[in-house]
């Protein structure tokens, strides 16, 4: 699995998406510091919102294969300036969160992320599961076995059938 760093303002859904991708129960807690998991780097929103902390995002992005710019579908404005992705030497994707919300404006969020320079945009909901499988599939590398892939039935050395459970790499 390619490693991704989540960048976005506070309450954009970075930690909630991290929990959903890891298959954890969704519980709210405020991210106070950079959480560097096996394949996900979850950053506090203040790092993107504060000029003096923005440099830390650049440093942490070097530890990732993919940069994920998150924006909530209910945002009243975009945090990202036009063509901001050009300053990054990693692949940058856009992720629209809270797609299930009754006030969601998916089109506006998509426009803002594309103006920022994201060529690929994912629409996700950590609560309904929408888009989670597609994002995981996109981050998948050759040889990775995803959680939803069916277990294979193999013959052991005695000709008996045995179930091999998929390995979870998230």
Question: What is the residue extent of each domain of the chain?
Answer: 4-144
pLDDT, tens only, 141-170:
887 776 555 455 555 566 665 555 555 555
Q: Report residue 70: phi and psi, to 5°.
A: -100, 140
Render the burial of 17-46: b for 16+ CB within 10 Å, e for the rest.
bbbbbeeeeeeeeebeebeeeebbbbbbbb
CA–CA dist 136, 161 (Å, integer): 30
CA angle 8, 11, 16 (to 5 degrees): 90
Residues 35-45: tens digit of each pLDDT: 899 899 999 99
Domain 4-144, classified CATH 3.40.30.10, yes or no: no
Report which of residues 167 and 126 the model is more confident about: 126
Average pLDDT, the chain: 87
Token pair recorded at residue 118: 């994201």
Band the pLDDT of 29: cuts 50, 70, 90. confident
The predicted pLDDT at position 117 comes to 96
């Amino acid at each position: 699995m390619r490693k991704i760093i989540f960048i976005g303002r506070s309450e954009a859904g970075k930690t909630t998406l991290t929990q959903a991708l890891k298959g954890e129960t969704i519980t709210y807690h405020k991210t106070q510091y950079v959480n560097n998991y096996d394949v996900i780097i979850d950053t506090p929103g203040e790092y993107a919102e504060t000029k003096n902390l923005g440099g830390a995002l650049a440093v942490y992005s070097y530890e990732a294969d993919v940069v994920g710019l998150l924006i909530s579908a209910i945002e009243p404005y975009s945090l990202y300036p036009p063509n901001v992705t050009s300053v990054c030497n990693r692949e940058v994707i856009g992720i629209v969160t809270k797609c299930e919300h009754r006030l969601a404006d998916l089109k506006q969020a998509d426009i803002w992320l594309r103006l920022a320079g994201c060529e690929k945009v994912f629409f996700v909901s950590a609560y309904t599961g929408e888009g989670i499988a597609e994002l995981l599939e996109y981050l998948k590398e050759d040889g990775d076995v995803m959680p939803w892939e069916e277990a294979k039935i193999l013959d052991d050395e005695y000709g008996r059938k045995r179930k091999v459970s998929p390995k979870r790499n998230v």
